[in-house]
Amino acid sequence: MSTAHEAHTIRGTLPRDTAAPAGPTRLSRLLDHVPGRRSRPPDGGSTTARELALRRRLLLGLTAVLTLCLFVSYEGVHGDADPLRTSSAPAVLAIDTAQHALDQAQREATATPPSTSGFQEQISVAAQSLAVAASDDVGGPAGRQALQTVAGLITVYTGMVQKAQLETESGVLRDAYLRYAKSVLDDKDSGITPRLNQLQREQRGVVKRQTSFGWVLRLAWGVVALLVLALAAALLETQVFLRRRFRRRYSRQLLAAGALMVAGVATLVLFSVWTHGGMADTRGLLDRSLSGRGVTDARQQTASHLAHTGFRAAATLWIFIGGLLLMLLAETGLRQHINDYRFRPQ
C-alpha cells in the first residue's frame, strides 16, 4: 500500500476538526487573557471541546447576570405602583377632600342665616376623609399622630360653631365663638388648615419619590440594554460557530433562546413604559390642590392610570422563570456536542 493511500486512510478515521484543526476564534483569543483559564491544547490538537465549553459558560453567565439586572430594573419601576394606587394617591385625595369640606363648613357657619345641616354635613365629610387618610398610613407614626391632633381640633372647632349657632345673629357671644372657631381652623402655628397643608406636602413628596425615574433606574436599564445586546451577540456567534464546525444550519435550542429573550425583554419594557406613564400621569394630577368635582374626577382618572399595575408587577416572578428557561435552552443546545467529545469541564 502506498504512503499516500495510508495517509488518506488515517485521515478518514479522524474527527473532522482533528483532520483539519481549526485555528482559534476571535472569542477564544480574547478570553485567553482571563485569569484561571486553562492552557490551550498543543498545536495540532482539537480545540472543539474547549470552544464549546467556553461558549457554554459565556451564555450561562450572561443569562444569569441579565436576569438579575432585569429583575432589579423591573422591580424599580413596578415596586411602587401598588403602594401608589392603594395608599399614597387615595391619601392625597382624602386630604384634599377634607380641606375642601372644612372650607365649605366655614362658609356654612358664617352664612346669613347659618346652615346647621349644611355645616354638619361638611364636617362629616371631612371626618370621613381624614379616617381614610389615616387608614392609608399617611406619613407613618408621625402622620397618624398629626391626623389624631387634627381630628381633636375639628371636634373643638365644631363645638365652637355649634355654640355660636345657638346665639342670636347679632349677639356678641356668637361673634366671639366664630372668631375662636376660625382661629382653631386657620391659626398659622397650630390651626387645622396649616397642619393639613403640611401633611399634604409630605404626602405629595412621597408620590414624587414613588413616581420618579432617577439616574439609578436609568443606569440599571442601560445595563440591561447592554447585556441584551451582549447575549444576542453571543447567541449569534455560537450559532455561527456550530454551523461552521459541525456543518449544521442552525440549533433549534439557541434559536428558541434568542426568540424567548427578545419577546420577554420587549414585553417587560412595554409593561414598564405603561406603568411608568400611568404613574407620571397620576403625579401630574395630584401635584396641585383639588376641590369639589375636581377631586372626584382625579380619583377616577387615577384609577384609570393605575389600572392593571398589579398584574404587570406580578410579571416579576416570570423574569426568573424566563432566565431559567434561557439557561436550559443554552445548556441543551451545546450539551449534545460537548458529550460527543466526551469533554468534562474541570
pLDDT reported for residue 248:
63
The mean predicted confidence, pLDDT, of the chain is 82
Outline where 169-306 has alpha helix (H): 172-186, 192-211, 215-246, 252-286, 293-305
pLDDT reported for residue 8:
42
Q: How many CA atoms lie within 13 A of 270 on its CB side?
A: 6
pLDDT reported for residue 257:
92
pLDDT tens digit sequence for 226-254: 999 999 999 998 888 877 777 666 778 88
Better-scored residue on pLDDT, 188 or 232: 232
pLDDT tens digit sequence for 108-157: 888 877 778 888 999 999 999 988 888 766 767 787 888 889 999 999 99
pLDDT reported for residue 133:
85
Handedness of CA 225, 228, 230, 232 (dihedral sign): negative
Q: How confident is the model at residue 340 (pLDDT cuts 50, 70, 90)?
A: low
Most confident of 85-99, 182-196, 257-271, 297-311: 257-271
Query: Above pLDDT 90, what percent of the chain?
Result: 39
Question: Over 80: is that where the pLDDT of 332 sits?
Answer: yes
Average pLDDT, stretch 284-310? 86
Are 150 and 129 within 8 A, CB to CB?
no
Distance CA 68, CA 319 (A): 9
Distance CA 179, CA 181 (A): 5
Non-local CB neighbours of 204 within 8 Å, separated by 6+ positions:
92, 286, 287
pLDDT tens digit sequence for 39-69: 445 444 457 777 887 888 899 999 999 999 9
Q: Which residues of 313-327 are buried (b: 16+ CB within 10 A; e: fewer)?
A: bebeeebeebbebbb
pLDDT reported for residue 15:
43
- Using CA atoms, how far residue 112 sits from 107, 116, 168, 173, in Å, is 10, 11, 11, 16
